[in-house]
Amino acid sequence: MSPEHPLSASPAWQALAPLRSRALELLLARRFADDPDRARRYTATGAGLTLDFSKQAIDGPTLAGLLAMARERGVEALRDAMLAGQRVNPTEGRAVLHVALRAPLDAQIAVDGVAVMPDVLAVRERMLAFAEAVRRGDWRGHGGEPIRDVVNIGIGGSDLGPRMACEALAAGAGAGPCIHFVSNVDGHALASVLARLKPQTTLFVIASKTFTTLETMRNATSARAWLLAGGLPEGAVARHFVAVSTNAAAVSAFGIDTAHMFGFWDWVGGRFSMWSAVGLSIALAIGAEGFRALLDGAHQMDRHFAEAPLEANLPVLLALVGLWNRDFLGYPSLCIAPYAEPLARLPAYLQQLEMESNGKSVGLDGHPVPVPTCPVIWGEPGTNGQHAFFQLLHQGTDVVPVDFILPLRPSHGLPDHHRLLVANCIAQSKALMVGRSAEAVRAELSGAGLPAAEIERLVPHRTFAGNRPSSTILLPDLSPRALGALVALYEHKVFVQGALWGINSFDQWGVELGKQLAGGIADELAGGPAGAHDASTAALIAQARSALDAS
């Protein structure tokens, strides 16, 4: 690690480095034994959420050092600059204002002196009115039938947030159309959804900020062909297709009336866009009131992020714990374990949010960042994960910190199930921390009557050291408000980590090259001239081309 870099050379970083060995050596369980107040000391609340990070290898000096680093790195000033509409995304020359999308009527937010709230509110009201009209059956298909199915066609930021939220909030959605999502250009995705639908009662929401994304345009074109092949005339497209985009010209060229387009702005990044018109599918699923509650939950977290002191600030604490685990303790990944089946898509959502934002190795100054940045984000809901990869979490050779996410009240009427779910969530964080000593294994096996030699053979396999860190985030329930606060928590965590590492969390240049190359290879697969390739790529194209030609 280069000591000259402003991050690693900072006094706070230098003060933190020597604390690493103690953090790795001192058992978490021992920390609790030594400090009866530890759970309270390392638990914070905000916007209705509770963050317990007491099972992390953090103590007073570590936390003080991390907070000092946040101050040295100017996190508060950068946060205020983002909230004030400054162009904190310099590689794209844009402001970053997803917070405006959930701000109240009277918020004063401007970009280059131009207030953004009037436009935000106008689109929000139009979109919510549209969603309600569809839900009520006032907006009908071309033949006069109500809309029963909505297909959201979009990918990446125009898919993951709405898909995750619709699934998370389905239990409280009330009467409304059934929402489907098609993102992949793989025709299996579109074909399997369309096979279940009727053109006369289907509405397509084409969600694309640019309205040029290959996958989305291919799927939208095929969806329109399916509609027309189903017996509807060209004029029916206007009743069955709406668009969410910043590109009115492309929407119009596709054949969607811009009167049925819901816009947003360049200062809304794709992966931060579910609060904008990109959330239309969410509004169609849960209604205007639910969508407003989602926005309000996020806004409560925005206020907390803007106002709470750093030592009590949930996004800041989550970010600092993550940075400590990544940069000082060397843990390469972070497991997201929601103990809530409806949050099954949350790990995928956070994967994009964190990895596309902070999966970078060059700082804003154009120089390499001298320390590891974003860890690999992955996960699955509990308790399913316990019967799959949790083995590695407990006994694998890599230590993987876990974020347990637990809504306290379920959205169903099966309290016995919920009690078991909650018990398992809490048990896992405890088991990761305390592990299982050889003595405990011996006592258990000898209690079961095993001979001494057999016990000694099994002890190494059944013993685990524990001391594996986790945080637990408690939500009051799985309401739109709580989900909004949870997602905003992670959005701001990402911002804080980006600020600490000195990188731009809001661009994504790394995904461009593959897109460009795919265009050329698609031409070749369609019979175009061969491009200049390495031998592996050329052979793969040749084999794929002969299979395509034969089919």
Q: What residues line the site for ligand G6Q (CB under 6 A)?
A: 155-158, 208-210, 213, 216, 269-271, 356, 508
Residue 516, C-beta contacts closer than 8 angstroms, at least 6 positions apart:
none
Closest-CA residue to 52 (of 471, 475, 482, 470): 471
Lay out the sheet containing 202-207: strands in order across.
178-182, 149-153, 202-207, 241-245, 261-263
d(CA 159, CA 394): 33
For the CB of residue 218, give the shortest distance to ligand G6Q in the complex, in Å: 12
Cβ proximity to ligand G6Q: between 152 and 508 the closer is 508
Cβ proximity to ligand G6Q: between 356 and 403 the closer is 356
d(CA 97, CA 299): 12
* Residue in 167, 354, 356, 491 annotated catalytic: 356
Q: Please check whether residue 96 is in contact with residue 88, taking contact to mean a CB–CB distance below 8 angstroms.
A: yes
Cβ proximity to ligand G6Q: between 162 and 381 the closer is 162
Shortest-Cβ-distance residue relative to ligand G6Q? 156
DSSP 304: H
For the CB of residue 300, give the shortest distance to ligand G6Q in the complex, in Å: 24
Residue 264, C-beta contacts closer than 8 angstroms, at least 6 positions apart:
123, 209, 244, 245, 246, 273, 276, 277, 278
d(CA 174, CA 163): 17
Where does residue 96 fall: left (phi above 0), alpha (psi -120 to 50 degrees), or beta otherwise? beta
Cβ proximity to ligand G6Q: between 190 and 308 the closer is 190
Token duo for residue 131: 């969603």
* 307 among known catalytic residues: no
Other beta carbons within 10 angstroms of residue 382's beta carbon come to 23
Q: Please check whether residue 411 is in contact with residue 478, taking contact to mean a CB–CB distance below 8 angstroms.
A: yes
For the CB of residue 508, give the shortest distance to ligand G6Q in the complex, in Å: 5
Burial class (CB in 10 A: 0-12, 13-18, 19+), 550: exposed
Radius of gyration (C-alpha) of the chain in whole angstroms: 26
Token duo for residue 139: 């907006």
For the CB of residue 248, give the shortest distance to ligand G6Q in the complex, in Å: 14
CA dist 215 to 185, 212, 314, 536, Å? 5, 9, 37, 25
Q: Please check whether residue 175 is in contact with residue 248, taking contact to mean a CB–CB distance below 8 angstroms.
A: no
Cβ proximity to ligand G6Q: between 352 and 467 the closer is 352
* 72 among known catalytic residues: no
d(CA 471, CA 319): 12
For the CB of residue 233, give the shortest distance to ligand G6Q in the complex, in Å: 28
Q: Which residue has the tokens 């017996």?
A: 231
* 515 among known catalytic residues: yes
Cβ proximity to ligand G6Q: between 57 and 251 the closer is 251
Cβ proximity to ligand G6Q: between 178 and 268 the closer is 268
Cβ proximity to ligand G6Q: between 158 and 386 the closer is 158
Closest-CA residue to 284 (of 140, 203, 177): 177
* Residue in 198, 367, 412, 515 annotated catalytic: 515
CA quadruple 153, 155, 157, 161: dihedral, nearest 10:
60
Cβ proximity to ligand G6Q: between 157 and 381 the closer is 157
Other beta carbons within 10 angstroms of residue 88's beta carbon come to 23
For the CB of residue 210, give the shortest distance to ligand G6Q in the complex, in Å: 3
Cβ proximity to ligand G6Q: between 341 and 356 the closer is 356
d(CA 374, CA 472): 20
For the CB of residue 189, give the shortest distance to ligand G6Q in the complex, in Å: 15
**Cα 469-475-481 angle, rounded to 5 deg:** 140
Q: Which residues are catalytic?
A: 356, 387, 515
